[in-house]
A and B are shown apart, each in its own frame.
Chain A
């Protein structure tokens, strides 16, 4: 750097150059960030209630597996994803049932009912849940999630496809 009398002008130019560069980056950067994270800012919409089974078909005491497909509008396209769960009739009372999601609360693998173990087993990290969804063994931090449900007069079971924490 030369000339002490030019320093002020040069410093001014340097600062302005940096400021303009920063301004352009900022004006471009903030909208770009909004653009990238836009899908994350959208509200999750609960799907319509889905019919998953009829009381008449479900044995008492053993978890009954069901699956259902949800179609959601994502952008300009619709995507269908399949979800599953278990219905446990604890007694003959039509109101005494639990509907569990089959998604393991550890890392979202799908748990299976194992008759011999009398428990839900997760194939990924050896987690074990009781028939009512309580953690018996393994890494999961909390019990299996549940679905809110309604039982119609004809025994049809309808669930709201949003996973709820127990209680």
Chain B
């Protein structure tokens, strides 16, 4: 840049200053107003959206799908698309190091590459077009991050569309820009503008088509119990499923009974000071995760069993044990699983049955688990799903399969005599009498869904219907 141009630029800046404003207070005022806006947005986000936490890190849980922060998603997606390119796609470091490195180098050295003194938009069509396509690409790739490049059914349509939007069209546009900039001197600005517009529309089109064609899988959002009470209850639910069989409801069992392979095994009670005072939370977690083979304790963590408990789940069980049995901890007020039934009261799904099902049944009876397709995740499914949907829950019928199995009577298989069609439920342990009573009243009185439905019904008390 020659001294004359520099002088011209400086002179023009002086003129702009003449008709300008002052840093204090004019500019600072605007800055402060914008900062206040940002601050209010942050307050609202922190208050009403909060921070969505995932479960605790668990190196043995390899089923977790890693996702970076949203502002790295475009890179994440770019790597996936790049991997689809034949031959070149196998050289990973071109995409991970060379291309991002080149982009950062170009961006850094920008003032030394773009050395013309022109600042007005119309004179800078090439850099503006390049940046526009780049930013558009970043935005679109971010939106596409959730769409797989190879569909589950092997169709490559989605992948092709994404490659077009994220790699092919931008690359072609860049080639065209550079060609126009150096060949079509007169019409360069017009050609570049139209090309970038066309490329932009095509990229957006491909992205919209991809998103429209893609059916997102229902995200299984892991709920993280927030408060101490929630964590204790989560731990109690897990304890009921995994531990009660051997250790009993209150952890006091000293001789295991009725468990195959461990029958008659002598175990220390886990609700006393010997265990709770001498093992800290970390040690208790390790015992649950890795077991104590010599003492008959099976490992429950994911390290030995992909279906096992996660780190967080084990932590909840430990929390439950501490606050229930360790006398140094003060147990907070925890509501019972469901409000106790009054005499003559008929339970409803919403108030009574759902919490019981959630604690004792749903761990197996939900989509994705082998449970004869009997899912108990919703009211409708409890009534109608499953291979034996006609017999599982029959209004007013004591012979409903569900009532039979929770009261200890297996359902015999009519095709293979001598075998059970459905075993006793829950397969390990029993429901408490009050839960069984709730199920009986609920089914015999016609399965009311809401508290209002149940309010109109009365359970006949023994006095009202004297037995013959």
Contact = CB atoms under 8 A, between A and B. Distances in A.
A71 B26 CA distance: 59
Contacts of B327: 48
Contacts of B26: 13
B32 A20 contact: yes
A73 B29 contact: no
A24 B39 CA distance: 8
Most buried by A among B35, B36, B43, B330: B36
A23 B329 CA distance: 41
Interface string B15-27: 0000000000110
A71 B39 contact: no
A78 B36 contact: no
Interface in B278-320: 280
B52 interface: no
B328 interface: yes
A13 B24 CA distance: 9
B328 A20 contact: no
A21 interface: yes
Interface in A59-86: 71-73, 78
A32 to B, nearest CB: 13
A30 interface: no
Contact of B36 (A13, A24, A71, A72): A24
B328 A17 contact: no
Interface string A8-26: 0010011011001101100
Given A10-B25, A13-B25, A20 B33 contact: yes
A28 to B, nearest CB: 8
Nearest to A10: B25
A27 interface: yes
B28 interface: yes
Given A73-B329, A78-B328, A23 B25 contact: no
A73 B32 contact: no
Nearest to B323: A73
A63 B171 CA distance: 89
Given A20-B33, A24-B39, A27-B43, A48 B25 contact: no
Q: Which among B28, B32, B280 has the highest number of chain A CB atoms within 10 Å?
A: B32
A3 to B, nearest CB: 11
Nearest to A14: B25
A49 B462 CA distance: 49
A20 B280 contact: no
A16 B329 CA distance: 52
Contacts of A17: 25, 28-29, 32
A48 B327 CA distance: 8
Contact of A27 (B28, B32, B39): B39
A73 B280 CA distance: 12
A71 to B, nearest CB: 5
A78 B280 contact: yes
Contact of A24 (B35, B280, B330): B35
Contacts of A24: 35-36, 39
A28 B46 CA distance: 13
A13 B25 CA distance: 7
Contacts of A16: 29, 32
Which of B25, B33, B327, B330 has the most A CB atoms < 10 Å from its CB? B25
A48 B328 contact: yes
A23 B37 CA distance: 12
B5 to A, nearest CB: 33
Nearest to A71: B328
A17 B28 CA distance: 7
Contacts of B25: 10, 13-14, 17
Contacts of B35: 20, 24
Contacts of B280: 78
A86 B127 CA distance: 84
A78 B328 CA distance: 10
A55 to B, nearest CB: 24
6 closest Cβ pairs, A-B complex: A13-B25, A13-B29, A14-B25, A20-B32, A17-B32, A17-B29
14 contacts: A10-B25, A13-B29, A16-B32, A17-B32, A20-B36, A21-B32, A23-B36, A24-B36, A24-B39, A27-B39, A28-B39, A45-B330, A48-B327, A73-B328
Interface of B: 25-26, 28-29, 32-33, 35-36, 39, 43, 280, 327-330
Interface of A: 10, 13-14, 16-17, 20-21, 23-24, 27-28, 45, 48, 71-73, 78
Given A13-B26, A16-B29, A20-B32, 16 more contacts: A14-B25, A14-B29, A17-B25, A17-B28, A20-B33, A20-B35, A20-B36, A21-B32, A24-B35, A24-B36, A24-B39, A27-B39, A27-B43, A28-B39, A48-B327, A72-B328
